[in-house]
Amino acid sequence: MNPANGTAGEKWNLRLYTAGQSPKSLAALDNLKRMCEQHLPGRYTIEVVDLLKNPRLAKDDQIVAIPTLVRKLPEPLRRIVGDLSDTERALVGMQLRQQK
Amino acid sequence: MKMERPQARSLPKAPTGIQGLDDITEGGLPRGRPTLICGGPGCGKTLLAAEFLIRGATQFDEPGVLITFEETGEELAQNVRSLGFDLDALVQQNKIAIDFIRVERSEIAETGEYDLEGLFLRLGLAIDSVGAKRVVLDTIESLFGGFDNQAVLRSELRRLFRYLKDRGVTAVITGERGERTFTRQGLEEYVSDCVILLDHRVNEQVSTRRMRIVKYRGTTHGTNEYPFLIDENGFSVLPLSGLQLDHEVSNERVSSGIPGLDAMLDGKGYYRGSSVLVSGTAGTGKTSLAAHFAQESARRGERCLYLAFEESPQQLMRNMRTIGVDLAPHVKKGTLRLHSARPSLHGLEMHLVQIHKMVSEFKPAAVVIDPISNFIDNSTAIEAQAMLLRLVDFLKAKQITAVFTHLTSGGHALEATDIGISSLIDTWLLLRDIELGTARSKGLYVLKSRGMPHSREIREFVVTPRGIELKQVTGKAGKGKRKK
């Protein structure tokens, strides 16, 4: 593995927007946890925002598609749409891996 | 022909409050259903949608939601402010909710399954926040620029339109015109109830905006292209062909402002609500004749709208003063309104829409258009005739006495107006050069005047510092006996 971005001590701050317990949302959370454990062990936090409970945040954070993963830290901010089942694209999107 | 039908059969409609549009849709947009408004860039889609929303909130007590994909709320507020609408105030009063949805492909990587539930949540929240009855989505096709997965987008769009119907809101969706389809992404597949097409054409450097209702399921509607105008009061659409020959007819007579001419017209002048054409070659006194009529109307305390397409109001007032027609006091009093515009400023139909608007606002009893020939030069004969027909019909329906002047070129027979409008005209006056003995002079005669016995003589037409005088032409002597 070759982290393209971030040095060893860097904190990753991730936020996953979901809508209740939909299969896509659950899959996204599972996939995200798996990737983080593999690539960012011990230095990531995942915040899950359920827009069904808090629809106002969809507007505030410009969310259209669900699930959407937002990488808040490290900067710059990145958005990744989908259930993260395409691990390759997810890693590239998060900039955990350089595009081949 | 509009038929009397049982009301129950027609669809419930949501009035737009936009002048003319409710006429051609026979009541407004389909209530509780989506309407698609499409057209090329700059055709006025967004403004039309915004006005529908704003008028809903202000005139019909129907709060609205505006979901904009292209402009921020502030940009949009600024744009509609130029049309005299205060969007910010409506937002503050909780009558309109705005959500700007920004999708930028560069920010978004796609990794598997997703849906657009976020959009639905935002829409639902906005609808609930103001209790919206109307929703505008402008321009939903922007989503196609932001997301790759067409299959997801299409199924979500289908779901969105179903959702709008389920919520019972009257929705307007705007879409950019595609090459072979009404919209680039074929939105017309999803919106099957009502489709309105806007068009902005430029013909010989003159632009005309037109609107057409392509489809309106379950209801009758006008199918023509209707010209429309966007100005400081928003949209106005002119329902041009809706008028029939069934307007009321008046027996009342109004003076032409020239005693000698009234004498030729059965001693009483024009019929109220009739159309008068004054044609003649250059410099024969057409404007002077029309100005007499305008002054006389204003003197009686009846409002007169004078549309001058060759002179500015100041120039017209100065020139008419020299022949004893002082228009200024009437302008000051508000009984006479002078409006000047270059005929080439707009297309023919734009002028018509504008005249329509001015007449609706000012409510004159008389209208002078001086001259109409300038319009005709700017367009094809068919267009010109159609426009004049509409204009004459419109003025007649409102019982407005209209005087049109028409400049004929010297070579033609005077009677042959190249625009074939004579059939529309009730009273036709001809001004021409005549030879009286050895002198050249101006003559006037009444070519026709419907519904009255009129003089068939040629009278000598003399412009004096005290106004126009008509003299009898007696034999070859050329010396006229003054009438009155």
pLDDT tens per residue across span B49-66: 999 999 999 999 999 999
Note every long-range contact of B464-467, with CB atoms under 8 Å and residues 24 or more positions apart, other chains counting. B464/B323, B464/B324, B465/B322, B465/B323, B465/B324, B466/B323, B466/B324, B467/B258, B467/B292, B467/B323, B467/B324, B467/B325
Tokens (6 digits) for B214: 């392509």
Nearest chain A CA: its distance from B340 CA (Å): 50
Candidate from A56, A82, A93 with C-beta closest to B114? A82
Q: Is B328 helix (H, G, I), strand (E, B) or coil?
A: helix
Count of C-beta atoms within a 10 Å radius of residue A34: 12
Q: Could you tell me if residue A5 is inside a domain? A: no
Tell me: pLDDT of B6 over 60.
Answer: no
pLDDT reported for residue B432: 85
Residue A46 lies in a domain: yes
The helix (run of H) or strand (run of E) holding residue B65 is strand B64-68
Statement: residue B417 has pLDDT above 60:
no
ipTM of the complex: 0.89
- Residue to test with chain B: of A16, A35, A64, most B Cβ within 10 A: A64
The model carries a pTM of 0.71
- If pLDDT is split at 50, 70 and 90, which confidence band does A59 have? confident
Residue A54 located in a structural domain:
yes
* CATH number for the domain harbouring residue A52: 3.40.30.10
| Residue that wins the pLDDT comparison between B240 and B132 | B132
pLDDT in tens, B214-224: 888 887 777 77
In the block, residue with structure tokens 């987008």: B153
CB B214 within 8 A of CB B182: yes
Tokens of B451: 């519904």
Extended strands (E) in chain A: 12-18, 44-50, 68-73, 78-81
Contacting residues for B234 by C-beta, under 8 A, at least 6 apart: B18, B47, B51, B83, B84, B85
Residues A52-60 have a mean pLDDT of 89
CB contact under 8 A, B112 and A85: yes
- Helix residue spans in A8-49 (DSSP H): 23-39
Strand B481-482 to B467-472 pairing: antiparallel
Domains of chain B (ranges, CATH numbers)? 7-242 (3.40.50.300), 253-482 (3.40.50.300)
The structure tokens 């749409």 sit at A81
Burial class (CB in 10 A: 0-12, 13-18, 19+), B325: buried
Amino acid, single-letter form, for residue B348: L
A86/B146 CB distance under 8 A: no
What's the mean pLDDT in B74-91?
85
Tell which wins on pLDDT, A99 or B306.
B306
For the stretch B178-218, pLDDT in tens is 777 788 787 877 877 899 999 887 766 667 788 899 888 88
Of B110, B118, B124, the CB nearest to A66: B118
Range of the domain at A70: 12-88
- What is chain A's length? 100
Q: Is B53 exposed, middle or buried (0-12, 13-18, 19+ CB in 10 A)?
A: buried
pLDDT reported for residue A66: 93
- Residue A31 falls within a domain, yes or no? yes
Give residue B145's pLDDT: 84
pLDDT of residue B234: 82
State the total domains in chain A: 1
- Exposed e or buried b for every residue in B429-440, given b needs 16+ CB within 10 A? bbbbebebeeee
pLDDT band at B365 (very low <50, low <70, confident <90, very high): very high
Give how far A42 is from chain B: nearest CA, Å: 24
If contacts are CB pairs under 8 Å, which of residues 47-66 in chain A contact chain B?
51-52, 55-56, 58-59, 62-66
Would A3 be classed as within a structural domain?
no
**pLDDT at position B29:** 94
Residue B346 has pLDDT above 80, yes or no: no
Q: What are the structure tokens assigned to B243, written together?
A: 């008028």
